[in-house]
């Protein structure tokens, strides 16, 4: 192996050790826009995710509804989830 190739490989190895590559990680989110039955944006409230069947009161994560009606909640793991929306004036 010639000297320039060895220098290049040594430099590349040193760069990897000194500056490790961050591997891409894809997170999964549940997101959407909350609207009323007549299409109006719900501008405040909370959303909650419940593991498994609905109405077991086993909420694991949630988020806030923004003024534009949008929300985004990271999922801690795969599987079945139930989405609950709570806002003033609605059940």
User: pLDDT tens digit string along 65-78?
Assistant: 999 999 999 888 88
62 φ/ψ angles, rounded to the nearest 5 degrees: -175, -175
Answer yes or no: is 91 within a domain: yes
Q: Please state, in angstroms and rounded to a whole number, the distance separating the CA atoms of residues 15 and 84.
A: 48
Report pLDDT digits (tens) over 21-44: 455 455 888 999 999 889 999 999
Range of the domain at 62: 25-91
86 falls within a domain: yes
Tell me if 11 sits within 8 A of 18, measured CB to CB.
no
Q: Compute the distance between CA of residue 74 and CA of residue 67 in angstroms, rounded to an integer.
A: 19
Higher pLDDT, 91 or 55: 55
Number of separate domains in the chain: 1
Residue 63 lies in a domain: yes
Would you say residue 83 lies in a domain? Answer: yes
* Residue 62: Cβ-neighbour burial (10 angstroms; 0-12, 13-18, 19+): middle
- Does pTM top 0.95 for this prediction? no
Residue 10 lies in a domain: no
């Amino acid at each position: 192996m010639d000297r320039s190739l060895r220098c290049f490989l040594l430099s590349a190895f040193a760069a990897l050790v000194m500056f490790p590559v961050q591997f891409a990680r894809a997170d999964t989110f549940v997101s959407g826009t909350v609207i009323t039955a007549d299409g109006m944006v719900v501008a405040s409230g909370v959303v909650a995710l419940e593991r498994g069947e609905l109405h077991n009161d086993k909420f694991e994560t949630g988020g806030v509804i923004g003024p534009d009606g949008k929300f985004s909640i990271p999922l801690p793991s795969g599987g079945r989830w139930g989405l609950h929306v709570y806002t003033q004036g609605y059940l």
